[in-house]
Structure 1
């Protein structure tokens, strides 16, 4: 496909056909990432992957910051952090700037394997999003979010 063909746009049905072909490939690729051996016994759910991926991308942060990134309540994140801390995947440390706050991070023993496992996703997103304008990135994210919401509404 030439650049002219890509910039000319797609009719709605052509876009749907392309995405119906592409989405199973993306989901299949994501499933093949394979949980690192040392984390397999922890029964990690998609919510755990989002939490870990945010820590890989952003680095250690507070429960409230994680909750904001994950768009869930702090109590939900606190429960996930407690669960992953019990397994030694995450560690909590006092915030040096404010001892009343706790910073959550990936435990040193698992940092390399989690980064190797989930870091590629952030690198791939960066590579495909960087060439876009801020408006194009916003449109893409808004469209992807709306798609997820429509799938949720359709199955509820």
Structure 2
């Protein structure tokens, strides 16, 4: 039975793996219905929150995406003009906007997201909940560390 990887072996493996992973992610096929809309990987995160968490306010999206509400407002405005998102007044507070994926665009957005979701499911499903948590925490820490350097 293997006792696992040493830190240096793990670093070497990840340094070789990450560029391949990023390259493959960049080549994910955008469905033809939305291919000409100049969508970027940053839009995937916004779509994922709306798909998994349902309609959200701009401030909620900003907090989850870890950007300013102004940044989210610009993204939402752009995607609303392109017909991918719908923005409606919050029935409880008319000053706030609630953002959703436009119904007619939902199948295309779902198809785009499902490519990554399917791969993540295959990678994470065999793990125990504790192993999944450790993996997600490790990946999150890597993202924080790389963004600080």
TM-score (norm 1): 0.78
Structure 1: runs of 5+ lacking an equivalent: none
Provide the rounded CA distance (Å) in 1 between the counterparts of 2:145 and 2:65: 19
Provide the rounded CA distance (Å) in 2 between the counterparts of 1:106 and 1:152: 29
1:133 equivalent in alignment to 2:129: yes
SS at match of 1:10: coil
Q: Which residue of 1 aligns with 2:23?
A: 28
SS at match of 1:105: strand
Deviation larger for 50-59 or 66-75: 50-59
Residues 97-134 of structure 1: CA distance to partner in whole angstroms, max 9, x if unpaired? Answer: x1423221111121101101113323443454453334
Note the C-alpha offset of 1:82: 0.5
Note the C-alpha offset of 1:138: 4.1
Provide the rounded CA distance (Å) in 1 between the counterparts of 2:98 and 2:118: 24
Counterpart selection for 1:84 from 79, 84, 91: 79
Residues 23-76 of structure 1: CA distance to partner in whole angstroms, max 9, x if unpaired? Answer: 233223212212222323322233222212222222221112111110111121
Q: Which residue of 1 aligns with 2:90?
A: 95
Q: CA RMSD in A?
A: 2.2
Change (3 A) 1:38 1:87: same
Provide the rounded CA distance (Å) in 2 between the counterparts of 1:32 and 1:20: 19
Q: Which residue of 1 aligns with 2:116?
A: 121
Contact 1:93 1:104 survives alignment (8 Å)? yes
Counterpart selection for 2:147 from 125, 128, 152: 152
Note the C-alpha offset of 1:11: 0.2
